[in-house]
Copies of this chain bind each other. A is one copy, B any other.
Amino acid sequence: MNRTIYVSNKPLDEAKRIWRQALTDHHFFDRSPTEIVRVDDCLGRLTAEPVFAGTSSPSYNAAAMDGIAVHFEDLAGASDSSPVHLPRDRYQLVNTGNALPEGFNAVVMIEDVHQASDTEVELGMPATPWQHVRTIGEDIVATELILPEGHRIRPIDQGAMLATGVTEIMVKRPPKAVVIPTGSELIQPGEPARPGQIIEFNSRILAGYLQEWGADARRAAPLADDPESLRQTILTATRENDIVILNAGASAGTKDFTAQVLADLGRIIVHGVAIKPGKPVILAIVGDTPVIGLPGYPVSAVLTMRLFVREMIAGFLGLEAPAPQIIEATMSRPLHSSMGVDQFVRVTLGNVGDTLMATPSGKGAGAVMSLVRADGLLTIPAGSEGVGAGEKVAIELVRPKVEVDSTLVFIGSHDNILDLIANQLHKQRPIIRISSAHVGSMGGIMAIRRNEAHLAGCHLLDEETGEYNISFLKRFLPSLPLRLINLCYRQQGLIVRKGNPKNIKNFSDIAKGGLVFINRQGGAGTRLLTDKILGEANIKSAEIKGYDHEEYTHMSVAAAVAGGSVDTGMGILAAAKALDLDFIPVAEERYDLIIPERFIANRKVIAVLELMKSNRGFHEEILALGGYNLRDCGKIMYRQ
């Protein structure tokens, strides 16, 4: 196997230091290119030199009010009881902004002027010299500093420059960056993807962030895996750009020629950093141009680019690297991490009571949605083995704090209605966001117990009483005042491929036919239901192939069936219907929300309850999913 490239494992700090040194050696931060732009076009740009006023503003003595221009000396001693009369040649009508006529030295407001006759005005107050006159340079005097170097231009700054006759200025030219997607497996969005083909969307994400960080970024056409065209493209790109981003080709797969090509063309500064995700990143210099080879997975690529490229752009523009906004939160569940590796974990955040809880928003370097959902990033440093549940952690916010504060934290059993609730709440003003972690019904109860969630979804059948949820609350949340409010009744059943090709009717068919099943995780209500049905049918778990293969949501089970990796799994009708699968009904079950009493008056919880009770359009949306009955939706089933 021809896989000889050695990927090192440099500590992050060291990698950053070496990289910064290499960039400095190649004068990356000294280039400071500039360009002349019209002030009309300079909004948001950075000044490359201080801007001084060209002329004074105002550039003439100007009336500051609508009224008449006078000689202040004429009004000496004027009062209501002994007003002064001015003949036509001793006053002149002026509007705000008019030049003060030659020889005049004050303005009287129109409100204070009485027209005594066609040729005379009467004034009942004296005037002070230059009253209601904007004198030359009152706002800005020619040569005065308007904007310092390195200032980001706002609309008002444009006004100040134009007001003093400055119409062109020198601004910093942002670094030109290009993102080159590589890989023969790439297809364009909208093209149908065959197995093994990957929609090329990374370059859009990467170019978008580069632009946001201040670069002038563009995307190149995807390159097939071919060393020679890679070589040519990199050479041309490094001549035309200040920063070249390759994605992917950073790891050591058989078709990853990138490192070899970069080593031939220039110098590899770092290949492999002790971070997760993002380990195989390549930092290289070709000519004097930095070339960054990012890993192929979108999350790895984004996080790695954030670590190494964001501060390059700031440095190029002479700006400070943006200070991360750090916030303290409490970890809702334990997280393991490898010693020696800086691990970056995406988390959602939510204020539950007085505690800001952090929950991982998903794992896997390919999980784009984990970044879409993320409110923040947790770094588990190389020296740590992980974080315990309830531990305080420092989170770097990637979403404004005000949005985090408006988050309702839902932890518990998964149901498709949650997506609908999330969307409805997001449309409200002020916005309410839902952060939902699908950890099963028991996981939800435990989250409520640990004060980690505002509410939990639960559908736990007590085999002895035949009742849902209540006995579990009494057992696990005995002293907590709470309400149990019904969300829905829903069909549970076996999800099978369209047309039910394996002709599955029940679990016996699965066991006898040696069919592949996919299970839900322990603590899930659906898992309890599965086990109850297996018990009633006297089938041992060992007889079910795939019993140990667990998924966390109904949709994941349905997706596994749709993808053909399994034959069937237990789930709700809505999930089967969403993916156009068939469904063998097994039971109707009750799905309730657990709400601690102290959150009942919470604005976000109230919004959910009102939505459940009163919103007809919302009920129709739910029923359209299929398999739901809303006869008790919003009803209090139990309180303690």
Contact = CB atoms under 8 A, between A and B. Distances in A.
Contacts of A147: 372
Interface string A52-96: 000111111110101000000000000000000000000001011
A423 interface: yes
A199 interface: yes
A39 interface: yes
Contact of A199 (B162, B205, B251, B422): B162
Interface residues of A, number: 122
A66 B253 contact: yes
Nearest to A142: B579
Nearest to A558: B141
Contacts of A158: 201, 204-205, 208
A3 interface: yes
A310 to B, nearest CB: 13
Given A61-B565, A162-B204, A364 B141 contact: no
A143 interface: yes
Copies of this subunit: 2
A139 to B, nearest CB: 5
Interface stretch (A130-138, A585-593, A600-608): A130-138
Interface of A, secondary structure class, is: loop
Interface string A535-573: 000000000001011000101101110110100000000
Given A149-B426, A556-B138, A159 B96 contact: no
Given A251-B66, A368-B163, A372-B147, A141 B555 contact: yes
Interface in A183-198: 183, 185, 189-190, 193, 195-196, 198
A297 B159 CA distance: 12
11 contacts: A39-B189, A95-B253, A96-B296, A105-B565, A135-B560, A136-B560, A139-B368, A141-B556, A141-B559, A143-B578, A323-B402
Contacts of A145: 419, 422-423
A157 B43 CA distance: 26
A174 B61 CA distance: 41
